[in-house]
Amino acid sequence: MKLIFGLGNPGERYRNTRHNIGRRVVFELGERLGAKSWREKFGGTFTEVGLPGSFAGPFGAAGEPLILAAPDTYMNASGECVVAFAGYMKVPPDAMLVVVDDVNLPLGTLRMRRSGSDGGHKGLRSVAAGIGSEDYARLRLGVGVPQGVELVEYVLSDFSEEESKIAAESVKRAGDAVLTWAGHGCEVAMNRFNG
């Protein structure tokens, strides 16, 4: 079993904001993989799907359970939900992937890492504080670098019409990166999708 968390903020007001692109990835994956229902537990919305055979590999067999979860605790308290799920399901940090936005990467760029610092991202900081380690995989999706605008205002803004097309493609590619991570491991996913 593997846990994939898409960080962001709950509610319609935040749905299409830059900060919510991580949440979009898990919901897009759920739709793509035919998730039957989403439930609420531990301060998050989640579903269970199986790893498609086309992504199966040495790190994950076809049909392996994947829990797709979107914390509803708001970005800065994401760790509460992550810790609760991981503890209840007895999933170690090396079987977890956290998907987030990144304002230091150009829109459309993906960057997966096996571990590392939070880079100033409060959602990642909350997760690391909750699990007591920075040794968990994370997939960052570039949302563009803010120019002449406050960071908070930028990440809570919607994508422009032109940006929305790039963001939608990025979300799909990120879904492929998540499934590659689940089946083939972090190294393969990094080589295929980073950049």
CATH number at residue 12: 3.40.50.1470
Please tell me the predicted confidence (pLDDT) of residue 37. 93
- Per-residue pLDDT, 101: 97
Residue 120 has what pLDDT?
84
Structural domain count of the chain: 1
pTM of the model: 0.95
pLDDT digits (tens, 9 = 90+) for 73-82: 999 999 999 9
pLDDT band at 118 (very low <50, low <70, confident <90, very high): confident
Residue 105 lies in domain: 2-193
Strands 96-102 and 65-71: unpaired
Mean pLDDT of the chain: 95
* Per-residue pLDDT reduced to its tens digit, 12-43: 999 999 999 999 999 999 999 999 899 999 99
Q: Is 19 a catalytic residue?
A: yes
Residue 145: per-residue pLDDT: 86
| Sheet with 44-50, side-by-side order of all strands | 39-41, 44-50, 65-71, 2-6, 96-102, 137-142, 110-113
Which one of 19, 121, 140, 184 is the catalytic residue? 19
